[in-house]
Amino acid sequence: YVDQWDWEIRIREEHRRLDYLTEVVSKIWAVIVGAERFAQEQFAALCDPRYPNLPEKLTFLHAEDIYDAYPDLPRKERETRIAQEHGAVFIYGIGYPLKSGAPHELRAPDYDDWITATTSADGRPMHGLNGDILVWNPVTKRRHELSSMGIRVDAASLRAQLEMSHQTDMLALPYHRGIIDGKLPLSIGGGIGQSRVLMLLLRKAHIGEVSATVWPEVLKAMCRERNIHVIE
């Protein structure tokens, strides 16, 4: 069992654009904001001035923009800074090499399209038709990833990404041949972390407060000291 809501939508060639990705991401964000509002209507204690509500709109940024803003910070610290600054962001183009020569974060070459050339809002050349939703978590006071998604690779981007990652041997596999030969449909899709969303909406500090599993005794003891009660 994977602790996320997976979704996939069949698309046409003309949908393989940054503005279409942005439109789909915005719809998903509206649902998350609506879920927060619904939870607060059901449980008034969730309305706490210490924990501000999610912003109505996401801030959309390219991975390159975040690197330019904080070039000396490791990736997770860059994300934490930018999430705290904006409240909630969608980071485009995760997987394509930045100015440093390394990607914001490694991504599989045969899944989302992170190589297709795009353009920033102010006209600068960028790459990638994928990204992540990240928010500032006021309880843990750190970055909180909710979802990863993207327009999936087509024949051209699959081949280019496999070449860049030196994995062209994968082109012989049935799934990859299906994309190259046009037998599989174009699509956009992603996953929304169930426990991550619940943690955020219910103002929980540990994933164990919303997701049951077998926790080590040392972890349970640490949580009890902080009045955090994990479920098993």
pLDDT tens readout for residues 180-200: 999 999 999 999 999 999 999
Residue 63 · residue 79 · CB < 8 Å: no
3-state secondary structure of 89: strand
37-66 in b/e form (b: 16+ CB < 10 A) is eebeeeeeeeeeeeeeebeeebebbbbbbb
pLDDT on residue 1: 61
Looking at the chain, the number of H-run helices and the number of E-run strands are 7, 8
The proportion of the chain whose per-residue pLDDT surpasses 90, expressed as a percent, equals 97
Domains of the chain (ranges plus CATH)?
4-201 (3.30.930.10), 206-232 (no CATH)
pLDDT on residue 139: 96
Residue 92 · residue 62 · CB < 8 Å: yes
Mean pLDDT of the chain: 96
Give residues with Cβ within 8 angstroms of 81, minimum separation 6: 69, 70, 73
Give the integer Cα–Cα distance in Å for 61 and 163: 27
- Six-digit token pair at 155? 């024949």
pLDDT tens readout for residues 106-128: 999 999 999 999 999 899 999 99
The proportion of the chain whose per-residue pLDDT surpasses 70, expressed as a percent, equals 99
Mean pLDDT, residues 201-223: 94
Residue 164 · residue 109 · CB < 8 Å: yes
Give the integer Cα–Cα distance in Å for 86 and 171: 40
For residue 3, name the pLDDT band (cuts at 50, 70, 90): confident
Mean pLDDT, residues 54-71: 97
pLDDT tens readout for residues 148-185: 999 999 999 999 999 999 999 999 999 999 999 999 99
Beta strands in the chain (DSSP E): 4-10, 59-62, 88-92, 117-119, 125-127, 130-137, 142-151, 187-193
| Prediction pTM value | 0.94
Mean pLDDT, residues 51-80: 96
